Structure 1
């Protein structure tokens, strides 16, 4: 989705262009991978609106197939935000901090505008809107603006701030602001998922921004692993070991069941649902355990994509990762158009929604859409490479 434009050059005398390009391809491949996973979740939301899941998913009641289909997409937002921070650092290798800050602010404001207009319309197909959702694109935009200020601090300070936010923000879970307080909306935007009405419109915060600011800061601090003359084998080992350490920390904290997310529980006589409870994590806002698990997996995958760079699959995925915002907008509007067509033909067959009867149809639609969405994205990705003189293309 929202990342620093990939077309900016990077590399130096100490960093051969070929090696630099390989690292950049691995970043795009990972971004493309999670976008393909994201598509599955949005297909689910399109055809399974009648069976929405809670946050975290209720392990006692949800059918296991729906639980794990939903669960696959949990890696998407953490990887996007972390890679956005990493890309900001790499962009800064050929630009001054002032230029990087300006780009982050401009891009952040652009993303916030997209969320309030074209993205919200893609979800609701209503104008004027009844509800404005502050979702992932808004949050990435806000996080980029926050990083624009933080990057002027020493990198150790940025790392300390990011780590403190990611590890400590769950201490704020018990802080609640009364709806009649002037701080209600700001606190909802920052940390607590809430809704409020203003001028006849309902505003809802799906992605409170505080933890994501911490994560984008940590992604930025990982930049030197990619920007210097560090041997590829050393970098890959660091990423793998860091990822494994994060997964181990997740298992340890979840087993202790004292901090980092809503408590897990045991379902007597049902090992599967007990395991589902162990894995059911809070995304809105992302808990410490949620970020440990998904960022740990993301680190391991990033190392793996660099190792297999040059293969057909990684090249295919890097095309999607090279034009993330285009793919994001395209798939939202395609899914909404398909839903409206189906609703016009068959009407509301699932309460007030149109939906499919079996989750298998969600997977059929998902597989069937990957290739049709790939080709226009490839066209746009190639356009960005050819027409670097068109300034606004870098924002998509």
Structure 2
């Protein structure tokens, strides 16, 4: 059974998983800043048929694919857990809804303002998708877990059908479609994370959070639920890639190597991508819950836990660290990418610990939005 940290009202397995994601994300973004041969071809818009990839470069990029789906899924899980805990404390639904709306708006505006200003054009990335999804979760959670799960499955399964009818990769994309389903890499604006597929992932995470907090008797243990769900998702991935039709979002098999099988669409997320990454996430999550249930020694200052408990702050701060390091370090290959990633994590660890202490000491301050 998952253990709740009495002092912080947090679940260690969730923070561990989020911390692992932060470390992998730092690797990907360090590669973006410093790796001269970085691969970025996770979409039909970015890939030329027949392109060959160096296996080490491809796998360095691929292992970070789990980051965004896991982060968004856990955001949904955290919303469900937090809302239930706050209701038990006597906080009204209107206050809870207002806080969620404000936090979602704040996170979305970080992309619209901070990152767009730094990029010199409007750019909507994962923070836009998370923020908008949080705001939409306010009315959606009123529908109940079963309806939310059905709607999430409908969005994920039907997105490709909609895009096939409305989207020509490389052609003109209306703004409403760019904001909701289809990515755009333009000169005036870029949308990497159209909101609705990622909203569906957050909805799944919210449903899981409701299940995690449920006190109904006779339910499957969480480890079994996650393991069965994860293995089922991986089977679905294998089926989709084997059939090589619907579910790949135009990123069809170019061969029968491991690289070809794992080269799937993230922009926008295909069913194959979501099944693979959420499947792997669920299995890792189950193992972490088992580790927590075994009452393993939990260091409250362990780097993975600290990074997981300060995830949004880590996300913002690591860009500042990378920008500073780029002033003094040169581009290089994978070896340099990995050791610079380690340097980034070493720099961020004490900063994140200080931030965590401040946030816990002043729980009603503006720091709560991070």
The TM-score by the shorter chain falls in which range? 0.7 to 0.9
Aligned to 1:74: 65
Seen in structure 2, the aligned counterparts of structure 1 residues 121 and 66 have a Cα distance that, compared at 3 Å, is: farther
Seen in structure 2, the aligned counterparts of structure 1 residues 53 and 218 have a Cα distance that, compared at 3 Å, is: same
- Measured in 2, the distance between the counterparts of 1:230 and 1:386 equals 34
Question: Is 1:300 equivalent to 2:320 in the alignment?
Answer: no
- Structure 2: unaligned runs, 5 residues or longer: none
Larger displacement relative to structure 2 (59-68 or 241-250): 59-68
Aligned to 1:387: 362
Aligned to 1:114: 110
| CA contact 2:247–2:272 (8 Å) conserved in 1 | yes
Q: 5 Å matches for 1:96-107?
A: 96-107=92-103
Q: 5 Å matches for 1:212-291?
A: 212-229=198-215, 234-261=221-248, 262-267=250-255, 274-291=257-274
Correspondence for 1:355 among 331, 341, 350:
331
Shift of 1:312: 5.2
Seen in structure 2, the aligned counterparts of structure 1 residues 184 and 37 have a Cα distance that, compared at 3 Å, is: same
Aligned to 2:17: 30
Aligned to 2:175: 185
SS at match of 2:66: helix
Larger displacement relative to structure 2 (289-298 or 310-319): 310-319
Aligned to 1:350: none
- Measured in 1, the distance between the counterparts of 2:6 and 2:108 equals 34
Seen in structure 2, the aligned counterparts of structure 1 residues 163 and 21 have a Cα distance that, compared at 3 Å, is: farther
Aligned to 2:131: 141
Shift of 1:177: 7.7
Shift of 1:180: 11
Shift of 1:100: 3.1
SS at match of 2:64: helix
Aligned to 1:334: 321
Question: Is 1:364 equivalent to 2:339 in the alignment?
Answer: yes
Seen in structure 2, the aligned counterparts of structure 1 residues 167 and 386 have a Cα distance that, compared at 3 Å, is: same
Seen in structure 2, the aligned counterparts of structure 1 residues 118 and 311 have a Cα distance that, compared at 3 Å, is: farther
- Measured in 2, the distance between the counterparts of 1:163 and 1:143 equals 15
Correspondence for 2:29 among 35, 42, 46:
42
Shift of 1:298: 1.0
Larger displacement relative to structure 2 (258-267 or 364-373): 258-267
Shift of 1:101: 2.4
Question: Is 1:165 equivalent to 2:155 in the alignment?
Answer: yes
- Structure 1: unaligned runs, 5 residues or longer: 1-14, 343-353
| CA contact 1:178–1:184 (8 Å) conserved in 2 | no
| CA contact 2:251–2:265 (8 Å) conserved in 1 | no
- Measured in 2, the distance between the counterparts of 1:121 and 1:320 equals 26
| CA contact 2:244–2:253 (8 Å) conserved in 1 | no
TM-score (norm 1): 0.81
Give RMSD over aligned pairs.
2.8
Aligned to 1:209: 195
| CA contact 2:5–2:12 (8 Å) conserved in 1 | no
| CA contact 2:39–2:58 (8 Å) conserved in 1 | no
Shift of 1:264: 3.2
Seen in structure 2, the aligned counterparts of structure 1 residues 180 and 53 have a Cα distance that, compared at 3 Å, is: closer
Count the aligned residue pairs: 353
Aligned to 1:346: none
Aligned to 1:91: 82
- Measured in 2, the distance between the counterparts of 1:290 and 1:113 equals 27
